[in-house]
């Protein structure tokens, strides 16, 4: 199969989805109002609530939700063949992710920028909110702890990436000052910022940086993990315009340049996809495609983490309500494009089928390394870029995306502690600094408590990330659906994705429960049960709220349409 055909089919489908389906959802279902006063305007504080140019906000939203997941998930899922991953990414982007992400922003904007967790208390019930926030906390804990491991592994494996990864922070700080303090022209700032970022990528291989293999009783990977948590704690306390927004924006532009290089190399060299469309010779121990495909590929199709970002930070920066179509839907298309690139790198970035099979020897093989090595092979073969520079470019892309997600994830975890402070009236927990220390402390406790001196404890609960994350997406769709019922709007466009996602996720949770039992892994089995019980109760509470609201509407005691 020609990689060009798959590339054009994927991009064409997502473009059509954005231009036509997203317009229908925005105008007929969410009914976006250009005159609605958003929380960023009504509650502007210069720290969290900041009216933002939609292109800059798109960069923040897109890079925060993307992370390394749209690379890792598809690069693992191609073990079942490239076709199932391709279909789920393209259809999921159009009919699931875009509607979900834009809906989460809409629901939050219409409720003073509240997160989906806090919204659950108002839309469904207080009991559902308590259970829902436990699921949210677990997802954020997994993301922060695991992405720290992913980034530290990349910096140890590819020392050439250290200078560009950390140099990007300085570039972002300068850009933030230029945009908000100096009111500099956005186009000029963008060009200079991207040029500086790529200059750093050129410097990286010349000045590789490696930490000592061991210091203070810790490995170099563990030291990087501690440094990353220290950085993320500081970043989460800074005003969003100072570092978070410009860092995400410049990374979003960098991704587009990286994708243009990668896609251009594919079009020039026209490589063949060496992996099978459907793999009938799966390695021993590979789980069934149904339902695991739909939880292995989350970001790039649909992901619950998106709802946290959409209602946690994005909604607080939205200048005009109509901007959310571009920010939410086009953010999903950007992520789908990255997932499509990961599929092509992990299936066409090999010289032969035998080379591909030598990598995909077990479920979980491939991942970021398949993306980096396969992508470097494609770029080098297509435009003749030095393989080391090409690998550095892709490593930096993956590390920066994981880093921006970690920045946002820790800020969101801080919000969770502050919301718990509000709910239970604990004064000191409402303050940013103590809440940040609790957020970082819980991540470090997991990293070094479960992982020992290696700091890789996040990996201990990572097998549950896919199911917990997709469960969160389903529950967010439930909140949106209840709001649509209250406003007497059509619900099928959120109800059908919701039903599919809940069935697949509960199926996957039960499948994993059986696997953990056979493995006698009682820790994960217990955690799986907690997530499963929380999901069932929240779903029942939501169904009850849905039914109650429909009865109220039928009886005339409904909320006014707005």
What domains does the chain contain, in order, with CATH numbers? 3-561 (1.20.1730)
| DSSP secondary structure of 184-249 | --HHHHHHHHHHHHHHHHHHTTTS-----SEETTEEHHHHHHHHHHHHHHHHHHS-TTTTHHHHHH
The per-residue DSSP string of 308-343 comes to: HHHHHTGGGTBSSTTHHIIIIIHHHHHHHHHHHHHH
**Cα Rg, the chain, nearest whole Å:** 22
SS3 content of the chain, % helix, strand, coil (to 5): 75, 0, 20
CA distance 420 to 118: 9
pLDDT reported for residue 256: 81
Query: pLDDT value at position 561?
Result: 43
pLDDT value of position 562: 44
Give the count of beta carbons closer than 10 Å to the beta carbon of residue 540.
Answer: 11
What is the pTM (predicted TM-score) of this model? Answer: 0.86
The Cα 478–Cα 547 span in angstroms is 12
The residue among 477, 43, 82, 512 whose CA lies nearest residue 277 is 82
CB 458 within 8 A of CB 149: yes
CB-count burial class (<10 Å; 0-12, 13-18, 19+) for 412: buried
Secondary structure of 453-520 in the HEC alphabet?
HHCCCHHHHHHHHHHHHHHHHHHHHHHHHHHHHHCCCCCHHHHHHHHHHHHHHHHHHHHHHHHHHHHC
Find the distance separating the first CA and the last CA of the chain, reported in whole Å. 50
Q: Distance between alpha carbon 84 and the CA centroid of its chain, in Å? A: 21
* Per-residue pLDDT at 558: 52
Residue 434: burial class (beta carbons within 10 Å; 0-12, 13-18, 19+): middle
Residues 419-451 have pLDDT tens digits of 888 888 898 998 989 999 999 999 999 888 877
Q: Which residue stretches of the chain have pLDDT < 70?
A: 67, 555-562
Nearest CA to 470 out of 85, 61, 96, 75 is that of 96
481 vs 474: CA distance, rounded Å: 10
Q: What pLDDT does residue 297 have? A: 92
């Amino acid at each position: 199969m020609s990689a060009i055909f798959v590339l054009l089919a994927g991009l064409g489908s997502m473009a059509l989805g954005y231009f036509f389906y997203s317009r229908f959802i925005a105008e007929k279902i969410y009914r976006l109002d250009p005159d609605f006063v958003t929380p960023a305007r009504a509650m502007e504080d210069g720290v969290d609530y900041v009216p933002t140019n939609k292109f800059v906000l798109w960069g923040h939203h897109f890079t925060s939700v993307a992370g390394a997941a749209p690379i890792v998930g598809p690069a693992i899922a191609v073990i079942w063949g490239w076709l199932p991953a391709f279909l789920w990414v393209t259809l999921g982007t159009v009919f699931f992710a875009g509607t979900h992400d834009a809906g989460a922003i809409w629901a939050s904007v219409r409720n003073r920028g509240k997160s989906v967790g806090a919204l659950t208390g108002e839309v469904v019930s207080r009991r559902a909110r308590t259970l829902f926030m436990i699921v949210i906390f677990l997802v954020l804990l997994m993301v922060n702890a695991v992405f720290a491991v992913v980034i530290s592994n990349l910096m140890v494996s590819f020392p050439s990436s250290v200078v560009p990864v950390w140099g990007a922070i300085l570039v972002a700080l300068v850009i933030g000052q230029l945009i908000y303090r100096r009111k500099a022209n956005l186009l000029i700032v963008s060009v200079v910022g991207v040029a500086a970022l790529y200059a750093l990528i050129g410097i990286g291989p010349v000045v590789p940086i490696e930490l000592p293999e061991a210091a203070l009783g810790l490995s170099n990977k563990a030291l990087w993990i501690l440094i990353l948590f220290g950085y993320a704690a500081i970043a989460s306390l800074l005003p969003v315009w100072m570092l978070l927004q410009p860092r995400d924006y410049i990374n979003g532009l960098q991704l587009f340049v990286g994708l243009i290089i990668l896609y251009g190399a594919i079009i020039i060299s026209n490589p063949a996809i060496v992996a099978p469309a459907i793999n009938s010779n799966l390695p021993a121990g590979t789980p069934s495609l149904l339902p695991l495909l739909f939880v292995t590929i989350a970001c790039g199709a649909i992901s619950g983490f998106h709802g946290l970002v959409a209602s946690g930070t994005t909604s607080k920066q939205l200048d005009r309500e109509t901007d959310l179509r571009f920010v939410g839907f086009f953010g999903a298309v950007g992520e789908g494009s990255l997932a499509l690139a990961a599929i092509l790198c992990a299936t066409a970035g090999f010289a032969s089928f035998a080379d591909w099979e030598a990598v995909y020897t077990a479920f979980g093989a491939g991942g970021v390394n398949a993306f980096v090595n396969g992508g470097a092979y494609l770029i080098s073969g297509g435009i003749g870029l030095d393989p080391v520079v090409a690998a550095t470019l892709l490593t930096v892309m993956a590390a920066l995306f994981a880093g921006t997600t970690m920045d946002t994830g820790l800020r969101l975890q801080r919000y969770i502690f502050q919301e718990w402070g509000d709910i239970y009236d604990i004064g000191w927990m409402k303050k940013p600094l103590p809440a940040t220390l609790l957020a970082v402390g819980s991540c470090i406790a997991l990293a070094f408590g479960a992982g020992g001196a290696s700091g890789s404890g996040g990996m201990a609960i990572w097998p549950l990330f896919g199911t917990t994350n997709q469960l969160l997406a389903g529950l967010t769709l439930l909140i949106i659906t209840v709001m649509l019922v209250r406003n007497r709007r059509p619900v099928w466009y959120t109800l059908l994705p919701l039903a599919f996602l809940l069935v697949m996720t509960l199926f996957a949770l039960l499948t994993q429960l059986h696997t953990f039992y056979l493995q006698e892994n009682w820790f994960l089995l217990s955690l799986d049960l907690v997530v499963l019980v929380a999901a069932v109760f929240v779903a029942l509470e939501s169904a009850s709220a849905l039914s109650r609201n429909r009865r109220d509407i039928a009886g005339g005691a409904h909320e006014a349409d707005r």
